[in-house]
């Protein structure tokens, strides 16, 4: 349901500037949707230590990291001239249901009188439709459906580019080349403002990443990344875990992506794949977890089983400090280790997490997976 709690009214004649918080590269998709309906996207500076410090200074100490970063993004957006800040909410079992009210109250207490809008994604496509209609002041179903379409297509295109980046980064000859090409690819996707242009941009973007020179004989490990969705997809808050792993010769796959979330929460049933991530989670998380306990815990537990079945070399679970659902899933992993061979690494992140200790843990995990893989291959050769 759309919930506008602004101090002003929706301007119909002036182009209003609307900002969403960051989560990885998602600004590319929502900017395209807003432009389509004639609203100016305001992209706040990408999350930085300054953003985190704004958020931390004005948040309850024990609240989870995404809350602090989102609040920081909003403060920077308002300071930069955004007229509206848009918050994505859900009536979830965890703290996400409280985020909206707390953030709005904090912004008001700090004297930021920008208009505040909430978009509840769990109202599905109807909620998104209402949101875009209200924010644009236009009752034009075709225009709004086009805006939803371009937003979703960009999300899926970027998911594919992320997959390609991960493949090339784990094998690149010159460190950093794949990411440099990926950034060029993202710019192409960002510029495309129609589905026709996006198709062309997508092909060119993939070709851009494929220019990366690779060593096809590099010994590469395959690792799935699961955890709380914000941390999995936001490179600032996960300290760019995929780049660090790529440098160590690890190809990563995010178990939770914005695209997979869309398939579960937004895309109408008739257009969904035969089994969505959530449906698979409900099937595979049993008998370890029998029902949704909020956040992404059900998906995380099932992702371990899935990764093991797919023969992955390991799985990494990332969660924010004090995240209630992920504390539960981490407490289930020891039982799962008895039934599943796959190595599991759990990482808990907060604003205090230091880079050096974190890299040491990743290196030790990669070393363990590599030894395990070599031992397995050795055994297979002996049998031949």
Does 24 interact with ligand SF4 (rule: CB under 6 A)? no
Is 44 a binder of ligand SF4 (CB under 6 A)?
no
The answer to whether residue 55 forms part of the interface with ligand SF4 (CB under 6 A) is: no
How many residues bind ligand SF4, per CB under 6 A?
12
Out of 10, 145, 324, 328, the only residue in the binding site for ligand SF4 (CB under 6 A) is 324
Instruction: Give the long-range contacts of residues 6-10, CB within 8 A, separation 24 or more.
Output: 6/84, 6/114, 6/115, 6/116, 6/117, 7/113, 7/114, 7/115, 8/83, 8/115, 10/134, 10/135, 10/137
Choice from 76, 172, 208, 228 touching ligand SF4 (CB under 6 A): 228
Rank residues 94 and 342 by Cβ distance to ligand SF4 and give the closer one: 94
Residue closer to ligand SF4, measured from CB, 224 or 296: 296
Specify whether the CB–CB gap between 53 and 31 falls below 8 A: no
φ, ψ of residue 313 to 5 degrees: the values are -80, -20
CB 173 within 8 A of CB 213: yes
Looking at 24-32, 103-111, 196-204, 322-330, which segment touches ligand SF4 (CB under 6 A)? Answer: 322-330
CA–CA distance, 3 with 300 (Å, rounded to integer): 30
Q: Which stretch binds ligand SF4 (CB under 6 A): 16-24, 93-101, 153-161, 209-217?
A: 93-101
Question: Can residue 128 be called a binding residue for ligand SF4 (CB under 6 A)?
Answer: no
Is 119 or 157 the residue whose CB approaches ligand SF4 more closely?
119
Choice from 70, 78, 94, 119 touching ligand SF4 (CB under 6 A)? 94
Output 323 or 347, the one with its CB closest to ligand SF4: 323
Full 3-state SS string of 302-365: HHHHHHHHCCCCEEEEEEECCCHHHHHHHHHHHHHHHHCCCCEEEEEECCCCCHHHHHHHHHHH
Q: Which residues bind ligand SF4 (CB under 6 A)?
A: 64, 66, 94-96, 228, 295, 320, 323-326
């Amino acid at each position: 349901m759309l919930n506008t709690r602004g101090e002003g009214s929706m301007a119909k004649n002036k182009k209003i500037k609307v900002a969403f918080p960051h989560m990885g590269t998602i600004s590319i998709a929502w900017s395209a949707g807003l432009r389509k309906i004639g609203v100016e996207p305001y992209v706040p500076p990408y999350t930085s230590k300054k953003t985190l410090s704004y958020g931390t200074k004005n948040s309850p100490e024990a609240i989870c990291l995404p809350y602090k970063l989102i609040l920081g993004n909003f403060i920077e957006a308002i300071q930069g001239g955004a007229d509206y800040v848009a918050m994505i909410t859900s009536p979830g079992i965890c703290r996400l249901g409280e985020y909206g009210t707390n953030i709005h109250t904090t912004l008001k207490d700090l004297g930021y009188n920008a208009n505040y809008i909430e978009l509840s994604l769990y109202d599905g496509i109807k909620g998104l439709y209402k949101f875009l209609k209200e924010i644009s002041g236009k009752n034009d179903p075709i225009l709004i459906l086009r805006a939803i379409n371009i937003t979703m297509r960009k999300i899926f295109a970027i998911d594919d580019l992320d997959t390609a980046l991960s493949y090339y980064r784990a094998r690149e000859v010159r460190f950093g080349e794949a990411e440099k090409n990926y950034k060029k690819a993202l710019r192409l996707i960002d510029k495309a403002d129609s589905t026709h242009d996006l198709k062309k941009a997508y092909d060119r973007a993939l070709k851009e990443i494929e220019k990366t020179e690779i060593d096809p004989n590099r010994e590469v490990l395959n690792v799935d990344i699961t955890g709380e969705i914000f941390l999995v997809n936001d490179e600032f808050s996960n300290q760019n875990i995929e780049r660090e792993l790529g440098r160590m010769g690890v190809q990563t796959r995010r178990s939770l992506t914005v695209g997979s979330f869309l398939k579960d929460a937004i895309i109408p049933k008739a257009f969904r794949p035969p089994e969505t991530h959530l449906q698979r989670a409900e099937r595979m998380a049993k008998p370890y977890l029998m029902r949704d306990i909020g956040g992404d815990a059900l998906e995380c537990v099932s992702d371990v089983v899935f990764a093991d079945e797919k023969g992955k070399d390991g799985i990494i679970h990332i969660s924010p400090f004090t995240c209630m659902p992920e504390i539960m899933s981490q407490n289930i992993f020891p039982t799962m280790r008895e039934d599943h061979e796959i190595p599991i690494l759990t990482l808990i992140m907060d604003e205090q997490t230091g880079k050096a200790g974190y890299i040491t843990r990743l290196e030790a995990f990669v070393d363990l997976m590599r030894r395990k893989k070599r031992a397995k291959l050795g055994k297979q050769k002996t049998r031949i």
